[in-house]
Chains A and B, each alone.
Chain A
Amino acid sequence: MTVTPEAPAIEAPTSDVDPFSHEVLEDPMPMHEELREAGPVVYLRRYDIYAVARYQEVHAALTDWQEFPSADGVGLSNFRYEKPWRPPSLLLEADPPRHDAPRRVLSKILGPRALRKLREDWFADAEVLVDEVLSNGPEFDAVESLSSVFPLRVFPDAVGLLPDGRENLLPYGDHAFNAFGPANDLVAKGEPRVAELAGWVGSRCAREALTDDGFGAAIWAASDRGEITPQQAPLVVRSLLTAGVDTTVHGISAVLYGLATHPEEWQRLRANPALARVAFDEAVRWESPVQTFFRTANRDVQLGGTTVPDGKKVLMFLAAANRDPRRWEDPDRFDLTRDPSGHVGFGMGIHQCVGQHVARLEAEAVLHALARRVESFEVAGATRRHHNNTLRAFDSLPLRMHLA
């Protein structure tokens, strides 16, 4: 009897789509729907990976750190076999037990209670910025004037960065998020500056480079108390600088876009500014600034009726899950009467975005300031998307304001 060894059959439906092509990055929704409808788990031939686009499976994979760990990288690159482009993040690219202490330290520093003391200042800063912007006329590009400006005003200060070099933060973050995808033109575009940008970011993480009253100093203080090691402290600061800027910028653009295109929702928010938090989370659900993340199966794992083989990457479409009609009623509608709770736009489980309260506070500040001055607003011209392998972003979002 002869036994011919066979490659294990792919159990899942297969697809030839390229989630990282410019066509898809321009408008990923049709592909999301295609993948959701193809099955709970789909094999993507082009990259030899598994993809999940339905809420239930995305949620399951996100929360199951035991079977879908992160230390092999949360991008396409598999750290089991490939060397990462930078020392792995202690938060994002680590599993328990190594993940525990850095996460614990950061979640305390960025927790809602710790942020209360920033609230008043940030609301005042947003008022000043909105007044400045509006004094230049009722039409402006929201990306250029608001969403990329406000986070860069308040967040680096809160971290404790000195003023110089802050213009490096956005390109660095943009490259870091591109690098989670395949080595395509978007990655190549960032490559010439990687060494310089990574070097600058690295140099900003040292204790001496930080003011003594920010998140950065608090991280170093935690290392003085032995809660993390002095070797870990700069990498934890780096996580703030990598993940804390671009994502918030795109989140604020998303909520402005949602409100500009849904005037009745803006009226609702104006009538009740306390809805600002709901509006922001609904925008994070609806647009999902972070579109995707990967996990790696650490053995043959059952997911959605399919066996994901040991060592294979699973691409989780947070954005598709956030519009899965199996979970959300009328999912494509940006709707402030909806309870967006449970969306996976910030992830879920032990890696859920540790900076989410910071992002919410920034967005809330901007929306409150606008609600005070602006009766209504709309999109005033052609919008332009910014392509990134992981992020959904605007390059340009022209708005016209009607003042109250």
Chain B
Amino acid sequence: MTAAAPPRTTTVTLAVTGKELVAEGVATLTLARPDGGRLPDWTPGSHIDLVLPNGLTRQYSLCGDRWDAHSYRVGVLLETGGRGGSSHVHEQLQPGHLVGVGGPRNNFPMVPAERYVFVAGGIGITPLLPMVQQADLLGADWQLLYLGRSRRSMAFLDELAPYGDRVVVHAKDELGPLDLAGFLGTPAEGTRVYCCGPTRLLTALETACADLPPYTLRTERFVAEEQGAPARTAPFEVELARTGATVTVTPDVSVLEAVGSAGVEVLSSCRQGICGTCETGVLAGRPDHRDSLLDDAERAAGDCMYICVSRALTDRLVLDL
């Protein structure tokens, strides 16, 4: 009987349930499962991969409420010089559309501390917004410096307003450039500085923090990830090295299921790329990682994958099965 079986999350396809222009050039998307079910849990600093209908994959930080298990929110800046990811989101994607989603994954986790200084540049506010909420919830001593060109282009000012003077908004067109080192001063011992924004800001902050104890500064860079190939929406082949069988993975099934229907059961548990049970060695081909487990270096190594959610960038994968 399968009626009460848990959802077999095959391809994680979410529906756009809301889209809003929240500042000049910044749109938020709300995403939910088409069946309204629970989404994988996340932590502040996490991002998801959006696999856009045009084949491009883009990372966006989650900036919603993790206590809401049924929707994700991301903020997307329209990058005029970009390669088409953000313009697709801004111009094409509408409520009701479906998008592939990978992750969530966290390369920018929040560590426990008594005191935090958050520095956001422009759209870099997105990962910091849930961190601010969390620091507040934990009763930590915190401050947010939010830098932007002008207030018009700065998202979420309304959501930050209730925090009063813990939030310092610095719009360049009103106040001119900011003396970052002066603002930072000498943070109290045990302070963690979290920064997300353009490279210029991160470099300035790295300089300002150079003399602080190691691991004080934690940053996330917004760099367009070089994907060698766009995410595949077409079927791909998986060769099982030990049995010699080859199976075709169509977009509507996971590799786990495809392999299973070829008679090779791989143990799984969460089927969301979070527990690690289905880890499978990759002998050839490049996986399209959509799990929440591997860090960037491990992803780049490409020697293993979580076949409950991850797929292929290449036409063919050879798995150690």
Asked whether, in the complex, the Cβ of B215 is within 8 Å of the Cβ of A349, the reply is: no
Interface residues of B in 9-65 (CB under 8 A from A): 38, 41, 43-44
Residues of A within 8 A of B204 (CB): none
Asked whether, in the complex, the Cβ of A63 is within 8 Å of the Cβ of B38, the reply is: yes
Q: Indicate the size class of the contact surface on chain A.
A: 35 or more
Asked whether, in the complex, the Cβ of A113 is within 8 Å of the Cβ of B111, the reply is: no
Task: Knowing A64-B69, A339-B265, A356-B277, say if A225 contacts B1 (CB, 8 Å).
Answer: no
Cβ of A362 under 8 Å from chain B: no
Asked whether, in the complex, the Cβ of A342 is within 8 Å of the Cβ of B41, the reply is: no
Residues of A within 8 A of B138 (CB): 97-98
Cβ of A100 under 8 Å from chain B: yes
Interface residues of A in 330-360 (CB under 8 A from B): 339-343, 346, 348-350, 352, 356-357
Asked whether, in the complex, the Cβ of B269 is within 8 Å of the Cβ of A342, the reply is: yes
Residues of B within 8 A of A278 (CB): 265, 267
> What is the bound-complex CA distance between A65 and B67, given in angstroms?
9
Cβ of A39 under 8 Å from chain B: no
> What is the bound-complex CA distance between A113 and B298, given in angstroms?
9
Task: Kindly provide the distance from the CB of A95 to the nearest chain B CB, expressed in whole angstroms.
Answer: 10
Residues of A within 8 A of B157 (CB): none
Residues of A within 8 A of B4 (CB): 54-56, 324, 326-327
Asked whether, in the complex, the Cβ of B6 is within 8 Å of the Cβ of A66, the reply is: no
Asked whether, in the complex, the Cβ of A341 is within 8 Å of the Cβ of B269, the reply is: yes
Chain A 52-73 per-residue mask, 1 if CB under 8 angstroms from chain B, else 0: 0011100100011110000000
Residues of A within 8 A of B110 (CB): 97, 100-101
Chain B 96-130 per-residue mask, 1 if CB under 8 angstroms from chain A, else 0: 00000000001001111100000000000000000
Most chain B beta-carbon neighbours within 10 Å: one of A101, A228, A325: A101
Chain B, Cβ-Cβ closest to A326: B4
Residues of A within 8 A of B260 (CB): 339
Cβ of B137 under 8 Å from chain A: yes
> What is the bound-complex CA distance between A139 and B216, given in angstroms?
59
> What is the bound-complex CA distance between A228 and B109, given in angstroms?
11
Cβ of A182 under 8 Å from chain B: no
Residues of B within 8 A of A265 (CB): none
Task: Knowing A56-B4, A226-B192, say if A352 contacts B279 (CB, 8 Å).
Answer: no
Asked whether, in the complex, the Cβ of B112 is within 8 Å of the Cβ of A66, the reply is: no
Q: What secondary structure prevails in chain A residues at the interface with B?
A: loop
Asked whether, in the complex, the Cβ of A227 is within 8 Å of the Cβ of B267, the reply is: no
> What is the bound-complex CA distance between A111 and B294, given in angstroms?
10
Q: Indicate the size class of the contact surface on chain B.
A: 35 or more
Interface residues of B in 66-85 (CB under 8 A from A): 66-67, 69
> What is the bound-complex CA distance between A208 and B260, given in angstroms?
48
Interface residues of A in 220-256 (CB under 8 A from B): 225-229, 232
Task: Kindly provide the distance from the CB of A351 to the nearest chain B CB, expressed in whole angstroms.
Answer: 11
Cβ of B208 under 8 Å from chain A: no
> What is the bound-complex CA distance between A350 and B192, given in angstroms?
25
Asked whether, in the complex, the Cβ of A227 is within 8 Å of the Cβ of B111, the reply is: yes
Residues of A within 8 A of B267 (CB): 277-278, 281, 339-341
Residues of B within 8 A of A66 (CB): 67, 69
Asked whether, in the complex, the Cβ of A352 is within 8 Å of the Cβ of B270, the reply is: yes
Asked whether, in the complex, the Cβ of B111 is within 8 Å of the Cβ of A96, the reply is: no
Asked whether, in the complex, the Cβ of A329 is within 8 Å of the Cβ of B1, the reply is: yes
Task: Knowing A97-B137, A228-B111, say if A350 contacts B269 (CB, 8 Å).
Answer: no
Cβ of B248 under 8 Å from chain A: no
Chain A, Cβ-Cβ closest to B303: A113
> What is the bound-complex CA distance between A229 and B110, given in angstroms?
12
Asked whether, in the complex, the Cβ of B69 is within 8 Å of the Cβ of A228, the reply is: no
Chain A, Cβ-Cβ closest to B8: A342
> What is the bound-complex CA distance between A56 and B4, given in angstroms?
6
Task: Kindly provide the distance from the CB of A103 to the nearest chain B CB, expressed in whole angstroms.
Answer: 9
Chain A, Cβ-Cβ closest to B295: A108
Task: Kindly provide the distance from the CB of B2 to the nearest chain A CB, expressed in whole angstroms.
Answer: 8
Cβ of A104 under 8 Å from chain B: yes
Chain B 266-284 per-residue mask, 1 if CB under 8 angstroms from chain A, else 0: 0111110001110100000
Cβ of B293 under 8 Å from chain A: yes
Cβ-neighbour of A97 out of B38, B134, B265, B279 (below 8 A) = B134
Task: Kindly provide the distance from the CB of B243 to the nearest chain A CB, expressed in whole angstroms.
Answer: 11
Cβ of B209 under 8 Å from chain A: no
Task: Knowing A97-B138, A356-B275, A356-B277, say if A325 contacts B1 (CB, 8 Å).
Answer: yes
Q: Given A229-B112, A277-B267, A357-B276, 6 more contacts at CB 8 Å?
A: A54-B4, A55-B4, A100-B110, A225-B215, A228-B111, A232-B112
Between A and B, 8 residue pairs with Cβ closer than 8 Å are A97-B110, A97-B138, A112-B279, A227-B109, A325-B1, A340-B267, A341-B277, A349-B41
User: Ordered nearest first, which 4 A-B pairs have the shortest CB separation?
Assistant: A341-B268, A226-B215, A56-B4, A326-B4
